[in-house]
Structure 1
Amino acid sequence: MEDAFKVILYFNNGFLFISAIIGLLKFKRLKNIEKWYVYYIIFLFFIEAAIKISIYALKLKNIDFLYPLYVSGELFLLGSLFIRKLNLSKYWYIPIFVLMGYFFFVNKVETNELKKVISNIVVICFAGYSLLMEIRKSETNNDRFILVDAFIFLYYAVSVFIFFMLKQLKSFSNDEVYMIWSMNNVLCSFLYVSIIYTFLKLKK
């Protein structure tokens, strides 16, 4: 199961790289709000690159210092995306910045899982509400990224469930742990593929 996990992870990283490249190539064709999908995917690419460099090039054994940046950046980018997409008040940035401050200044390893759960729940709420609005106006809806929004909602919802299970992982066998994380990476790959598909089908 460990080998399968590694293969899925390599595919996942490959899809992330491809989506980042295509996003940059299509950047000028995107509307201002849609460009936030590119910012999001580029940010994830740089975080993944920083992790790989820290582990394999710098030989660092502890990369927990990247976690606050990852969670805060992800929350800010997706929060900004949906606030703009839904035409919400700028006051919605206040709770996002408060949470980002918490993620940065409460820097304890034992709270990392909690930070990710909180961030994911906020993203789920934004993405879910956005999908509901898109469905309600489906007759006149020209949202070209509705598929991506659906996979964002699905991936982050499942991730919350997985992170709630983290405290119980010690009771699981290694194969069960790898299976759980493989499921998470498969869903993440579907999210990247949906972004690639959406970028490729854009005509203008």
Structure 2
Amino acid sequence: MPVIDMSELEPVGEFGSKEWGEACAEASIKMLEAVELPQSTNWAFTEDYTFPPKRLMRGGRTHSGYYIMVKNGKVSAADGIIKEALSLPGFHVQLPWAYIANQSGTLYGKEGQLRRSQDEAVLMASIVEYLGRDNPFKLPINGKGEASYMLEPVGPWPKEVGMAVAEGSEEGNGLHNVAATLQQKSPEFEGLPVTEMGVPILTDMTDEQKVTFLSLCGIEL
């Protein structure tokens, strides 16, 4: 049985805000401390959202995002990004806040995740076509020579970690759905055309909306 009671959750802050990051970190600790992790587990999860709205960076924050770290089987997590977590193999993502913020508030299971990924692929292709250049977000080049939002060192999800954070996801639980439930809507996406999964549709935007959205993604036109 999932350790998080979804009925007790309510929105606490916008995607990438300190309040939201702290709540996501707290939930992840509960999930992972409920299972027995091997002492040999050394792995981390970091999500770093670039070009966030200035209002989310009040109080001296240097990063919009949060981390989960398992070191020698012990779990820690918090708002922000720390070097110790980034140094461990794991799931390290760095992407523009506006590119993923809205759809991150959508509840889904495996099928929904696939649909979101497909919609995001269409969005990226639309951005590339509109700008006439590849790698519009200037993503780092990985060991394969490809632009990637995944930062090195990449490491597979440990079985116990993956099962813990995904438990109940098909029924509306799991870490993603917890994070989505904790998320408040952001004003930047009001009136913006989006898919059923909440992914912005660049080709349906007005010229003004396109410029605004791409600027939010850190792209200079």
Q: Shorter-chain TM-score category?
A: under 0.3
Please give the TM-score of this superposition, normalised by the length of structure 2: 0.25
Where is the helix percentage greater, Structure 1 or Structure 2?
1
**Which structure carries more relative contact order (alpha carbon 8 Å, separation 6+)?**
1
